[in-house]
Structure 1
Amino acid sequence: MLTWALCLLLNNPRVLKIAQYELDEHVGRKREVEESHLKNLVYLNTIVKETLRLYLPGPLTLHHESMEDCIIGGYKIPKGTRLLTNLWKIQHDPTKWPDPEEFQPERFLTSHKHVDVRGNTYELFPFGSGRRVCPAIPFALRSLHITLATLIQQFVLKKQSNEPVDMSKSTGVTISKTIPLEVLLAPCLSLDIYLVVA
């Protein structure tokens, strides 16, 4: 998620500047970002939400199985039916999300202000919801917020060229046997991202 967030910020320098300004205002450059600062970093929270909406950790929920025959939305669901929910489709639904493919963190300050990522709203639930919601949500969100805030605060984020960072997706994970050392030490270099100490 951190890689997606950094790439989105590099492709949207206006959003990155707003996040930097918010951090300068609420934390400053001389202090480290701490958990107590997160409640004041409202715009950073919108960036995390929008990143989770666009690039959720998994496109489908774990399967659920009906314990008894039931009727949902007029459809008869027999006992033992397995259900996989397509979270990606829900979070990219143009009837719920205007311009669903666009990175617009501001939507969580206006039209979608009520939406959270903890499984309480059904427009955005990247960690699932209900009794089977991911138990690590608090840890994941704190880690993501603090790490992203620290990177924005402590480093100057720049792209190698004027070209946008390639955000295309592919299936699977591949690892080359001849990985250059700099890629192992700084995975962001393979994304044409430079971290420069401020």
Structure 2
Amino acid sequence: MFQLFLDTTRDTTLNGFYIPRECCVFINQWQVNHNPELWGDPSEFRPERLLTAEGTTINKPLSEKIMLFGLGKRQCIGEVLGKWEVFLFLAILLQQLEFSLPPGVKVDLTPIYGLTMKHARCEHFQVWLRFSIK
């Protein structure tokens, strides 16, 4: 679970809660990205949920509701570089390797909560080279 913190610049009231000036406010980023009112079934892996109804393009207003790199003045300055790095890393993995599970094996994706959120190790996960290396 990642938490972002902000310092308030003036006295304010938000959803009936009084927040004094210069108060440190923590945002539960995990909860924002797992809101069932917005995502329906946030624990299910369904990347198609971010596509338009036709399924041909990304639903930009919906995809912008995912908070990956923080918000405001404390937003990560490496967001663009980070997104490109993740894209290149995954593209190379998917080009070079084949990932699979033996037939009938189910993976438990129940998270293990702590300072960071992890998943149990999957002993049955298999990785194969797609092409022979010469």
* Pairwise same-fold verdict (TM > 0.5): yes
TM-score bracket relative to the smaller structure: 0.7 to 0.9
Whether the aligned pair in 1 keeps the contact of 2:8 and 2:22 (CA below 8 Å) is yes
Unaligned runs of 5+ residues in structure 1 are 1-57, 174-188
- In 1, Cα distance between the equivalents of 2:33 and 2:52? 17
Matched AA of 1:147? F
**Equivalent in the alignment of 2:98:** 156
Matched AA of 1:82? C
**Equivalent in the alignment of 2:59:** 113
- In 2, Cα distance between the equivalents of 1:172 and 1:86? 12
**Equivalent in the alignment of 1:75:** 17
Matched AA of 1:85? I
**Equivalent in the alignment of 2:26:** 84
- In 2, Cα distance between the equivalents of 1:66 and 1:160? 52
**Equivalent in the alignment of 1:192:** 124
Pick the structure with more strand per residue: 2
Matched AA of 1:197? L
- In 2, Cα distance between the equivalents of 1:154 and 1:161? 22
Q: Percent identity?
A: 25
Task: State the TM-score, normalized to the length of structure 2.
Answer: 0.73
Whether the aligned pair in 2 keeps the contact of 1:128 and 1:134 (CA below 8 Å) is yes
Matched AA of 1:113? N
Pick the structure with more helix per residue: 1
1:59 maps to 2:11: no
Offset at residue 172 of structure 1 (A): 5.4
| RMSD (Å) for aligned C-alpha atoms | 2.5
Matched AA of 1:194? Q
